[in-house]
Amino acid sequence: MGAYDAELGAAVERAQQGDEQAFARAYRLVHPGLLGYVRGLVGGDAEDVAADAWLEIARDLGRFRGDGAGFRGWTATIARHRALDHLRKQRRSPPTTLIEQDVLEVPGGQDTAAAALESLSTGQALELIRGLPREQAEAVLLRVVVGLDGPATARVLGKRQGAVRTAAYRGLKKLAGRLAQGGATP
C-alpha cells in the first residue's frame, strides 16, 4: 500500500489546492473499496449512501490533515456515519419502491461476461460478510475491502486495536469455515 498511499496523498494535497483532476484521481483510488465497505453495511442502497459520503468528503476536504492512509481512514469514517444514519432512517420509515435505476442505465464498454462474473463473486463475498456479526463484518470490510491497517480501522470503529484485530480474525475464520462447508476453497 506504500506507493498507493503516496499517490493518494499527493492527489489529496493537490485536490485541497483546487485541482479537480487530482480530486477525481483520489476518488478513483478510494471509491471502489469505500463502496464495497458501504455495500457490506447497507446492501443495495450503497451507491446512494456512498454518494452522500462523497458530498461530505468534497465539502470538508479542506479540513483534512494527513497522508494517503489517513485519507482512506477519514473517508471510511464519513461513509460509516452516513451508513449508520441510513440504517437508522430505514428503521424509522418503511422502504418505498421506485423504478430501478439499473433499467435506465446505458450499457458500458467493458466485457459484460467478465463484469458479471466479477460482480457475482463480489456480491457473494459481500453477502457472506454481511452474515457475520456486525463488529466482525465491519472489521473485515475495513481491513480487507478498504485496505485500512489496524490502527486506522480501530479509529474508524472507535475501538481498541486488539478488539479490531480479534474481530477481524474471528470474522475471517468464520468465513473460511463457511466456505469450506460449502465445498469452496477458502
CA dist 60 → 37, 81, 123, 164, 182 (Å) = 21, 14, 31, 27, 45
- Copy the grid coordinates of residue 71: 485519507
- pTM of this prediction exceeds 0.85: no
- For 27-67, how does the pLDDT look when each residue is reduced to its tens digit (9 = 90+)? 999 999 999 999 988 988 999 999 999 999 999 999 999 99
Contact 34, 57 (CB under 8 A): no
In tens, the pLDDT along 132-148 reads: 898 898 888 888 888 88
